[in-house]
Copies of this chain bind each other. A is one copy, B any other.
Amino acid sequence: MTRHGSPGMEVPTPMRENRGMQRNTRQRSAILEALSRQDDFRSAQQIHEQMRADGETVGLATVYRNLQALAQSDRLDVLVGDDGETRYRQCEATGHHHHLVCRECGRTVEFLAPELEAAMSRIAREQGYTDLDHTLEVFGLCTGCEAARAEATAR
């Protein structure tokens, strides 16, 4: 991914909110609707498949483009799996937050943690770093999957 910065005249203030989304289209609505019926993280292809199954006609490239655009305007949460696949999920919380994800079934809990934010920020500042940012995700087994695993272990 090349990182350009357009030289020359700056646009007054693009208000990064709507990049690549000036218009409302049937496809985008359908994508948001599909997303709203799921509560775990899904890949672009999974979402596309689901839509086709539901009878929607949408191109795969369109799904990719929209998910990307929606994520950039903070309307979706993004998670890059261990396998490198990017997964999206409709975000309940508004503003900066983190996730607790079941590595087995994908069940997700959103959480805020001012204490964590403060601690990370302090550590980074102590080292002279500025313009901070971070990624933080917690994984584990949810109660359901833990129970299932215990049962399997007991034969």
Contact A1 B137, beta carbon cutoff 8 Å: no
> Which residues of chain B come closer than 8 Å to A120, judged between CB atoms?
113, 116, 136, 138
User: In the complex the two chains form, is B139's CB within 8 Å of A132's CB?
Assistant: yes
> A95 interface residue, CB < 8 Å from B?
no
Report how many residues on chain A are interfacial, defined by Cβ distance under 8 Å.
Answer: 36
Residue A64 lies at the interface, judged by CB distance under 8 Å to chain B: no
* Cα A113 to Cα B83 with chains together (Å): 27
A123 close to B (CB within 8 Å)? yes
A22 on interface, CB distance cutoff 8 Å: no
Most-contacted residue by chain B among A1, A103, A123, A142 (CB, 10 A): A123
Which A residues contact B (CB, under 8 angstroms)?
Answer: 1, 80, 82-84, 86, 100, 102-103, 109, 111, 113, 115-116, 119-120, 123-124, 127-143, 146
Q: List 26 A-B contacts (CB under 8 A).
A: A1-B83, A1-B84, A80-B84, A100-B124, A111-B123, A113-B119, A115-B115, A116-B119, A119-B119, A120-B138, A127-B142, A128-B143, A128-B146, A129-B140, A129-B141, A130-B140, A130-B141, A130-B146, A131-B140, A132-B139, A132-B140, A133-B138, A133-B140, A134-B136, A134-B137, A134-B139
